[in-house]
Chains A and B, each alone.
Chain A
Amino acid sequence: MSLDELKAPVTDFATDWDHTDPAWVHDPYPIWEKLRTSCPVAHTDRYGGAWFPTTHQMVSDVANDTEHFTSRLVVITNNKYPPNAEAPIGGAPPITSDPPFHQFARRVILPAFAPGPVNALEDQVRALCRKHLDTVAGEDAFDAGLRYAQYISPGVISKMLGFPEADEELFRDFVHLVLDLVDLPIHERGPLFVPMAEYFSAQIEDHLAHPRDDLTNYLLHVEFNGERLSMEHVRGTMVLVLVAGIDTTWSAIGSALWHLAHHPSDLARLVAEPELMPVAVEEFLRFYAPVTMARLVKDDFDFYGWPMKKDDWVLLGFPAANRDPEMFSDADTFVIDRALNRHAAFGLGIHRCIGSNLARMELRVALEEFIARFPKFELTDPTAVTWAPGQVRGPRSIPVRVVA
């Protein structure tokens, strides 16, 4: 199948959906609502066959069912059979791991992202935010995505891994490759990974030669039952932290700024009631949940009557689950002080986002610092806002004007 055929515009999302289709990328919520009320499990032959359940219950069922669904690949591409992605370990443990290995891989990395170590990073994150806000000081109009949102998470993650902060442009390239360029043919996508693999090899060598106190060093030297992790495990987890730690939080920060830039009453309320921020952060996470995961079907399996086949993809739409009216009152309304908010932005079940505490803190601090500096701002050109395609959704360009 040629790329042109793959990119044929979608005319029926129930039978031929594509999460990189421009209509989906621009505004997926009406599409999902229509599917939820009329379908509610959509199918496509694209990507070699994929399903998309749209209710909260179904998303929860898939997320919690490791018997019928494997995580060995979690990003839908045209290649279901890369040689380095065998379950139960997969290419980026623990996100690509299945039980029982998953539990071990998670045990390795969870302590670094628990609330204690994460809370200790708050001052550092705040300083990073202020540094980037200083670069736009005095400007009447600037791009809140390209000048601010995109810098926060790469700065945090590169420091955690002990990578040079100056390489952050490279990190965004890696993320773009892994998460955005997903519909390339296999023979075009594969070679693009070479520079990323070489970069990680160089960082590992540098850390082995010059040990220092960071997450890479920890992964290289930690021992369980007297044994170190395999180099593939170390490398895979490093890739996971970099890729999953950047685009996701950047998207969340961007979506929240975008929202505030065209909802002045919400902005005014946050400025007037800073104590509302933790509750507002949860609503930003529900309403603009950036991350959609994927699973592969282990064996032929009947899912609520839909005949899933071995190695079919399943798109695990946590953002769609977060808009299910069965689960949330006024699900399609942003309620900044929503008290009951059992959202699934960080996933459900054993693969709950490892970085959730960090992401939540980064989002809160990035917003606190931005609105402290700019208590009033608005979109200059709503049509200029661009969105990242694929399984991590967020605005990239967010042109704003500072209001006096």
Chain B
Amino acid sequence: MKVVIDGELCQGQGRCFSIAPSLFGFDDLGDGVVLGDGTLTAETLDLARLAQANCPEHAIFIEESS
């Protein structure tokens, strides 16, 4: 599983990097960015889902890894 942020939808609300700083960071404008390649483990999947469920812009997606 991988977590991704849709840059078109992200408005820099800042919830993801506050809830899950191990998975998300931010850029110079304050938009959220996925740290590393976004690969989730059994341990980080729930955290990613929590961030996803708190994003006001619905900009976080969890995808099956290819």
Binding site for B on A (CB under 8 A): 107, 110-111, 113-116, 278, 282, 339-344, 346, 348-350, 352, 356-357, 360
Contacts and interface: CB of A to CB of B under 8 A. Distances in A.
A111 B17 CA distance: 17
Given A110-B30, A114-B30, A356-B14, 17 more contacts: A111-B29, A113-B30, A114-B29, A115-B14, A115-B17, A115-B30, A116-B28, A278-B18, A282-B15, A340-B53, A342-B53, A342-B54, A342-B56, A346-B56, A352-B13, A352-B57, A357-B14
Contacts, number: 52
How many of chain B's residues touch chain A, expressed as a range? 10 to 19
A343 B29 CA distance: 21
A352 B53 contact: no
Contacts of B1: none
Interface in B19-65: 26-30, 50, 53-57
A344 B12 contact: no
A107 B11 contact: no
Given A339-B50, A341-B54, A342-B53, A111 B13 contact: no
Contacts of B17: 115
B11 to A, nearest CB: 4
A344 B50 contact: no
A241 to B, nearest CB: 15
A286 to B, nearest CB: 10
4 pairs of A and B residues whose beta carbons are closest in the complex: A114-B30, A352-B11, A110-B29, A115-B26
Residue of A111, A282, A352 with highest tally of chain B CB at under 10 A: A352
A249 to B, nearest CB: 15
Given A339-B50, A349-B11, A352-B12, A357 B56 contact: no
B14 A348 contact: no
A278 B51 CA distance: 14
B12 to A, nearest CB: 6
Nearest to A356: B14
B54 A107 contact: no
A143 B54 CA distance: 35
Nearest to A114: B30
A349 B57 CA distance: 7
A214 to B, nearest CB: 19
Contacts of A107: 29
Contacts of A114: 12, 26-30
A278 B15 CA distance: 10
A342 B55 contact: yes
Given A343-B56, A346-B13, A357 B50 contact: no
B50 to A, nearest CB: 7
A115 B50 CA distance: 21
Contacts of B30: 110, 113-115, 357
